[in-house]
């Protein structure tokens, strides 16, 4: 009989301590897989799997893209990558856009779990600031899963569990010393043989809406309405003048453009942005090298290797932009 065997957990400030306390109460051979997103700066080396493995009976590892997942194991999102559950019980780590200023973010993990595994999912939001996890927990509940938050009064930083509870609602709110036993109890309960809910997530409908708006724009069907473009001078939204014989745009503070002028200004802004990217990558390359040398002097060869890897990556990215995009523009197409 099916049971809840997918546990997705999100945490931020105060999350390492909360996660350490939680996994301490989980028994070996737990018949569920745990997936964790904890906000960690992308430039820092995460030691969270090692910390969690030492703290409890379950082995924790950073996720490798495409690997299958198994029961009784803890899977941790690596820094600067979103963790997603995929079909055929596999995992993805993707460097997609930040959500709520974070990569990894909690919401993408929760949404992917809810979409694929529905009632088998238990979503847990622990200590942290702001709103990440609220929309994800809403998706978990929408798919028929169980929503749990750490009791905000028990959290070092209460915003994440408070906001998740207020926006999504929760099935359980518990302090850390009860969360482990609560998870074990919920995992052990068989699911009733009833049809699951169909998870609908408004966020995941957005790409279709955006693409439809862009197709309308290409067909010139947004005259008199807000466009998908932004003003090169102030960054505000542009409206298209409702005139069939002239393609003209105006932002809300008054900057106005003909279509051809807007296209030229976009080219100038794009080149400036690319040169800014090249300069930033070169500076990042030098700074990472400097930090690597400092760590070598301290005898920290692991830290030095980490910064050296970032330096080499920055150099590759900067050289690629300068060489392939700026120094060698594509030739004009022949008629």
CB 7 within 8 A of CB 116: no
CB 160 within 8 A of CB 130: yes
Please confirm, yes or no, whether 39 is among the known catalytic residues.
yes
Other beta carbons within 10 angstroms of residue 205's beta carbon come to 10
| Active-site residue, from 5, 12, 102, 127 | 12
Which tokens hold the place of 288? Answer: 């990472």
Q: How far apart are the first and last CA of the chain?
A: 66
CB 109 within 8 A of CB 136: yes
| Active-site residue, from 5, 107, 132, 201 | 132
Please confirm, yes or no, whether 132 is among the known catalytic residues.
yes
Q: Which one-letter DSSP state was computed for residue 99?
A: B
Dihedral angle computed from the Cα positions of residues 180, 67, 79 and 62, in that order, rounded to the nearest 10 degrees: 50
Alpha carbons within 13 angstroms on the beta-carbon side of residue 87 total: 0
CA distance 73 to 28: 9
Please confirm, yes or no, whether 265 is among the known catalytic residues.
no
- What are residue 185's DSSP bridge partners? none
CA distance 73 to 193: 26
**CA–CA–CA angle 37, 42, 45 (5° rounding):** 85
| Active-site residue, from 5, 33, 39, 285 | 39
* Active site positions, annotated: 12, 39, 132
């Amino acid at each position: 009989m099916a049971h809840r065997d997918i546990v997705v957990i999100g945490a931020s400030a105060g999350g390492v301590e909360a996660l350490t306390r939680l996994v301490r109460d989980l028994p070996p051979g737990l018949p569920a897989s745990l997936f964790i997103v904890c906000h960690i700066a992308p430039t820092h080396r995460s030691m969270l799997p090692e910390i969690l493995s030492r703290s409890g009976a379950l082995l924790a590892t950073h996720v490798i893209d495409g690997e299958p997942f198994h029961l009784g194991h803890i899977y941790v999102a690596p820094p600067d990558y979103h963790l997603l559950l995929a079909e055929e019980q596999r995992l993805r780590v993707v460097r997609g856009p930040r959500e709520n200023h974070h990569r990894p973010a909690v919401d993408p993990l929760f949404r992917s779990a809810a979409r694929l595994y529905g009632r088998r999912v238990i979503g847990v939001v622990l200590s942290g600031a702001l709103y990440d996890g609220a929309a994800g927990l809403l998706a978990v509940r929408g798919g028929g899963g169980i929503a749990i938050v750490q009791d905000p009064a028990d959290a070092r930083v209460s915003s994440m569990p408070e906001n998740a509870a207020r926006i999504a609602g929760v099935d359980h709110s518990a302090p850390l010393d009860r969360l482990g036993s609560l998870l074990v109890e919920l995992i052990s309960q068989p699911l009733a043989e009833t049809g699951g809910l169909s998870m609908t997530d408004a966020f995941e409908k957005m790409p279709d809406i955006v693409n439809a708006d862009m197709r309308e724009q290409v067909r010139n069907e947004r005259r008199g309405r807000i466009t998908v473009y932004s003003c090169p001078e102030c960054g505000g939204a542009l409206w298209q003048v409702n005139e069939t014989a002239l393609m003209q745009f105006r932002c809300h503070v008054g900057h106005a453009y003909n279509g051809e002028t807007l296209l030229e200004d976009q080219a100038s802004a794009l080149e400036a942005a690319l040169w800014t990217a090249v300069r930033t990558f070169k500076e990042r390359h030098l700074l990472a090298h400097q930090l690597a040398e400092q760590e070598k002097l301290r005898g920290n060869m692991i830290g030095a290797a980490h910064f050296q890897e970032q330096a080499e990556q920055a150099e590759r990215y900067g050289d690629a932009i300068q060489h392939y995009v700026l120094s060698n523009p594509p030739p004009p197409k022949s008629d």
